[in-house]
Amino acid sequence: MRALTIKPGEPNSVRLDDIDEPPATFGGLLIRTLALGVCATDRDLIAGEVGEAPQFNDRLVIGHESYGEVIEAPTDSGFKTGDRIVGIVRQPDPEPCPSCTAGEWDMCSNGHFSEHGIKRLHGFGSERFRIAPEFAVKVDAGLGDLGVLLEPASIVAKAWDHIERIGHRFRSWHPQRVLIVGAGPIGVLAALLGKQRGCEVHVFDRNIDGPKPPLIRDLGARFHSGRLDGLRSLRPDIVVECTGVAEVVADAITAAGPNGSVCLLGICGSHTRPFNLGAFNDKLMMENNVVFGAVNANRTHFEMAHDALVQADRQWLARIITRRVPLAHFGEALTKKPGDIKVVIDFAA
């Protein structure tokens, strides 16, 4: 069967390989891949910046934003042939830390977890894959291939879960205004969950053309561009930073209002900028602010994300996917183009 593979650590080693069928030891569910989302992590993998192949393998099957159809399922699994599913990306440590033991493997404290398509586990970028039932999430049939948005939505659901847990540190917490920084797929989905919570949502992005501004406005949110530091008068209760651009992150942190929470969802890497640590300290201390990071998601967050997608307007949700590329032309999907929000590789084409 065909699969997208890389040699971790070797830039531009991605290719469409012919590989063996997945053995039953990989999981009781056999899945036919229908669609695969592409994100910045995939591009980092292809650039050789991250990634680790499974033991005794030189190459890694990439792809962690899955959507597929059950071909084969154990009778006691809770799944049946024809069910649509998404695979959970992270797997707990074989010798679980306390978080992994509690089912919160996204909060693994010892770093010995594995991740499909990223770290020590083959991903979902093959025509068929196997997964254990406990790491598969059933998708409402009415979502169709919009189910491929479930994995990125799970990241956002975790962010909101933690924002709310932190917010309830004081009894009078009733957030009204949210600032989302970055209108990529994570930012757009973060705005969706903010609107579903009844918040006044503002989205900042440098793109003033293309599909992003009308998509945000049609959600009922306000779209902003220009300079982020010009939005400090908003004094948002919640800031969700989704770009990972160092200078933007610094401005996002200082944009929060009193008692505000700032959630960081982007990776800056080696990008740096001068930063006034003293002013940062004083703002957090004097205004009771919180800045925290979030990554990955556990089953609870996948289920929260699924509920959010089911509640969303399907026509609006479909506009997040701006390009669908057949597997045979996968290279087109891996190259970012102007106007892209979410690009999907269509395995069913």
Would you list the domain boundaries of the chain? Answer: 2-138+321-346, 154-293
Domain 2-138+321-346, CATH homologous superfamily name and number: Medium-chain alcohol dehydrogenases, catalytic domain (3.90.180.10)
Side chain identity at 297, as an amino acid letter? A
Q: What is the dihedral of CA 114, 324, 264, 86, to 10 degrees?
A: -40
User: Is residue 178 helix, strand or coil?
Assistant: strand
- Locate all alpha helices (DSSP H) within the chain, ordered by sequence: 40-46, 98-101, 150-167, 185-196, 212-219, 246-255, 277-287, 299-311, 314-318, 330-334
Beta strand pairing call for 90-91 and 114-116:
antiparallel
What residues in the chain have per-residue pLDDT under 70?
270-272
CA atoms in the 13 A half-sphere facing the CB of 49: 9
Identify the pLDDT of residue 271.
Answer: 65
Bridge partners of 290, per DSSP, are: 261
Distances (CA, A) of 187 to 148, 193, 244: 16, 10, 12
Identify the pLDDT of residue 270.
Answer: 67
* CB neighbourhood size of 44 (10 A): 15
268 Cβ partners below 8 Å, 6+ apart? 244, 245, 246, 249
- Contact at 8 Å (CB) between 177 and 202? yes
Calpha distance 310→291 (Å, rounded): 30
330 Cβ partners below 8 Å, 6+ apart? 4, 14, 16, 345
User: Is residue 177 helix, strand or coil?
Assistant: strand
Residues 231-250, buried b or exposed e (16+ Cβ, 10 A)?
A: beebebbbbbbbbbbbbbbb
Beta strand pairing call for 15-18 and 342-346:
unpaired
Task: State if pTM tops 0.85.
Answer: yes
Closest listed residue to residue 71, CA positions, set 84, 61, 62: 84
172 Cβ partners below 8 Å, 6+ apart? none
| Fold observed for domain 154-293 | Rossmann fold (3.40.50)
Calpha distance 84→138 (Å, rounded): 6
Bridge partners of 128, per DSSP, are: 32
Side chain identity at 224, as an amino acid letter? H
Identify the pLDDT of residue 51.
Answer: 97
Residues 294-330, buried b or exposed e (16+ Cβ, 10 A)?
A: bebbbbebbbbbbebbeebeeeebebbbbbbbebeeb
DSSP 105: G
